[in-house]
């Protein structure tokens, strides 16, 4: 089944569900549109990049972010409160000996507010099933060759919980400002399919 056909089938099922909710008087089209607008308003990988840049340049913020991301995000003017309920966010840090990568095996749960709309490959059945079974091989297909001894953890998002990777700070960036550091961060780095 092609990705386009799968996306069309899912979109049709979502619309049928929306129509049933509207038909039962539980929600209006306008309310659904308002929720979608609220979720996507300001959603950008630039938000996640700002969070990473702050964590790279402020050790105290980094500690707070890793301990309780939801409590730390307001320090940079962000939150996970978009949509119907606040989602839990856990930020996981890459180190020299450990690499993290994100997936949602059930669908495509993803921290949209921090990473922007998810890439099509993140939603694909191939990525969702394979990265759990063979993360090293999948990462290599993205061009990320990790040393054999480096441990890999795959974090599986859910409807209630989202994850974001805190990439390792690139060498030679000690004199850069937060704004300059943020420019180095990519969406793929925030997902864990690329190193910075």
Residue 104 designated active-site: yes
Residue 124 designated active-site: no
Question: Rounded distance, CA 101 to CA 156, Å?
Answer: 9
Question: Rounded distance, CA 99 to CA 15, Å?
Answer: 38
Residue 157 designated active-site: no
Residue 109 designated active-site: yes
Cα angle, residue 164 at apex, residues 94 and 70 outer, rounded to 5°: 120
Task: Please give the span between the terminal C-alpha atoms of the chain, in angstroms, as a whole number.
Answer: 34
Question: Rounded distance, CA 66 to CA 166, Å?
Answer: 9
Catalytic residue among 2, 8, 44, 107: 107
Catalytic residue among 44, 57, 79, 108: 108
Catalytic residue among 104, 118, 120, 161: 104
Catalytic residue among 7, 44, 57, 109: 109
Which positions are catalytic? Answer: 104, 107-109
């Amino acid at each position: 089944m092609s990705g386009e056909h799968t996306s069309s089938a899912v979109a049709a099922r979502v619309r049928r569900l929306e129509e049933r909710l509207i038909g039962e008087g539980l929600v209006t089209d306008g309310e659904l549109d308002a929720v979608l607008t609220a979720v996507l308003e300001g959603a950008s990988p630039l938000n996640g990049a700002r969070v990473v840049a702050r964590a790279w340049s402020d050790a105290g913020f980094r500690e707070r972010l890793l301990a309780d991301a939801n409590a730390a995000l307001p320090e940079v003017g962000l939150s996970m409160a978009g949509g119907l309920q606040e989602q839990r966010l856990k930020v996981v840090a890459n180190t020299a000996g450990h690499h993290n990568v994100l997936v949602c095996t059930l669908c495509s749960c993803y921290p949209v507010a921090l990473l922007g709309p998810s890439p099509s490959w993140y939603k694909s059945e191939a990525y969702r099933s394979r990265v759990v079974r063979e993360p090293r091989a999948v990462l290599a297909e993205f061009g990320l060759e990790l040393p054999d001894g480096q441990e890999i953890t795959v974090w599986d998002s859910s409807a209630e919980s989202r994850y974001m990777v805190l990439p390792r700070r690139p060498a030679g960036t000690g004199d850069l400002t937060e704004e300059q550091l943020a420019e180095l961060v990519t969406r793929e780095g925030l997902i864990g399919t690329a190193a910075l």
